[in-house]
Chains A and B, each alone.
Chain A
Amino acid sequence: MKNYLLTLTVGGIALTAALQSCKPNNTNNAVTGDAPVKAYVAPGKYDEVYNFVSGGFSGQMSVYGLPSGRLFRVIPVFSVDPEKGWGYSEESKPMLNTSRGFIPWDDFHHVELSKTNGEDDGRWAFGNANNTPRIARINLRTFKTDEIIELPNSAGNHSSPFITENTEYVVAGTRFSVPPDDVNGDVPINSYKQNFKGYLSFVSVGKEKGNLEIAFQLECPGVNFDLSHTGKGPSSGWFFFSCYNTEQANTLLEVNASQRDKDFIMAVNWKKAEEYIKAGKGRKVAVKYAHNVFNDETHSATSEIKNEVTVLNVKDFSDLCYMIPCPKSPHGCDVDPSGEYIVGSGKLAALLPVFSFSKIQKAIETKAYDGMYDGIPVIKYEAALYGEVKKPGLGPLHTEFDANGNAYTSMFVSSEIVKWNIKDLKVIDRKPTFYSVGHLCVVGGDSKKPTGKYLIAYNKITKDRYLPTGPELCQSAQLFDISGEKMEMILDFPTIGEPHYAQAILANKVAPNSTKIYKIDENKHPYVTKGEKESKVIREGNKVHVYMTCVRSHFAPDNIEGIKIGDEVYFHVTNLEQDWDVPHGFAVKGAINAELLIMPGETQTFKWTPDRIGITPFYCTDFCSALHQEMQGYVRVSPASSKQALEWSIGTNLPKTIDPATK
Chain B
Amino acid sequence: MNTKISILTKILLIASFGLLIYSVRVPIWQIDLNAPQYPEGLNLKIHADKLGGDVDIINGLNHYIGMKTLHEKDFIEFTILKYIIYFFAVFALIAALIGRKKIVYILFFSFVAFGVIAMIDFWRWEYNYGHDLDPHAAIIVPGMAYQPPLIGFKQLLNFGAYSVPDTGGWLFVSSGVLMLVAVIKEFKFSKK
Task: Determine if chain A interacts with chain B.
Answer: yes
Q: How far is the CA of A577 from the CA of B64 in the complex (A)?
A: 15
- Cβ of B141: which chain A residues have Cβ within 8 Å of it? none
* B68 nearest CB across to chain A (Å): 13
- Cβ of A625: which chain B residues have Cβ within 8 Å of it? 64
Tell me, yes or no, whether B72 is within 8 Å of chain A by CB: no
Q: In chain A, residues 608-663, which have Cβ atoms closer than 8 Å to a Cβ of chain B?
A: 625-627, 660-661
B136 touches A661 (CB 8 A): yes
Chain B minimum-CB-distance residue to A551: B60
Chain A minimum-CB-distance residue to B134: A660
- Cβ of B134: which chain A residues have Cβ within 8 Å of it? 660
Q: How far is the CA of A578 from the CA of B42 in the complex (A)?
A: 13
A626 touches B60 (CB 8 A): no
A579 touches B136 (CB 8 A): no
Q: How far is the CA of A509 from the CA of B60 in the complex (A)?
A: 33
* B39 nearest CB across to chain A (Å): 8
- Cβ of A579: which chain B residues have Cβ within 8 Å of it? 56-57, 60
Tally of B interface residues using CB under 8 Å: 9
Chain A minimum-CB-distance residue to B137: A661
* B158 nearest CB across to chain A (Å): 10
Chain A minimum-CB-distance residue to B135: A660
Q: How far is the CA of A552 from the CA of B60 in the complex (A)?
A: 8
Q: How far is the CA of A552 from the CA of B138 in the complex (A)?
A: 12
Over the window 533-565 of chain A, the binary record of Cβ atoms lying under 8 Å from chain B Cβ atoms (1 yes, 0 no) is 000000000000000000110000000000000
Query: Given known contacts A660-B136, A661-B136, is B64 in contact with A627 (CB within 8 Å)?
Result: yes
The listed residue (A551, A578, A626) touching B139 by CB distance below 8 A is: A626
Over the window 557-591 of chain A, the binary record of Cβ atoms lying under 8 Å from chain B Cβ atoms (1 yes, 0 no) is 00000000000000000000111000000000000
Count class of interface residues, chain A: 10 to 19
- Cβ of A626: which chain B residues have Cβ within 8 Å of it? 64, 138-139
Over the window 48-73 of chain B, the binary record of Cβ atoms lying under 8 Å from chain A Cβ atoms (1 yes, 0 no) is 00000000110010001000000000
- Cβ of A660: which chain B residues have Cβ within 8 Å of it? 134-136
- Cβ of B56: which chain A residues have Cβ within 8 Å of it? 578-579
- Cβ of B138: which chain A residues have Cβ within 8 Å of it? 626-627, 661
B57 touches A578 (CB 8 A): yes
* A631 nearest CB across to chain B (Å): 12
- Cβ of B60: which chain A residues have Cβ within 8 Å of it? 551-552, 577, 579
Q: How far is the CA of A488 from the CA of B57 in the complex (A)?
A: 47
- Cβ of A627: which chain B residues have Cβ within 8 Å of it? 64, 138
* B172 nearest CB across to chain A (Å): 32
- Cβ of A661: which chain B residues have Cβ within 8 Å of it? 136, 138
Chain B minimum-CB-distance residue to A627: B138
- Cβ of B57: which chain A residues have Cβ within 8 Å of it? 578-579
- Cβ of B139: which chain A residues have Cβ within 8 Å of it? 626
Q: How far is the CA of A625 from the CA of B57 in the complex (A)?
A: 13
17 contacts between A and B (CB under 8 A): A552-B60, A577-B60, A578-B56, A578-B57, A579-B56, A579-B57, A579-B60, A625-B64, A626-B64, A626-B138, A626-B139, A627-B138, A660-B134, A660-B135, A660-B136, A661-B136, A661-B138
Interface on B for A, CB 8 Å cutoff? 56-57, 60, 64, 134-136, 138-139
Question: When A and B form their complex, which 9 residue pairs have the shortest distance between CB atoms, in order from nearest?
Answer: A660-B136, A579-B57, A627-B138, A661-B136, A578-B56, A626-B64, A552-B60, A626-B139, A579-B60
A577-B60, A579-B56 are known; give 13 further A-B pairs, CB within 8 A.
Answer: A551-B60, A552-B60, A578-B56, A578-B57, A579-B57, A579-B60, A626-B64, A626-B138, A626-B139, A627-B64, A660-B134, A660-B136, A661-B138
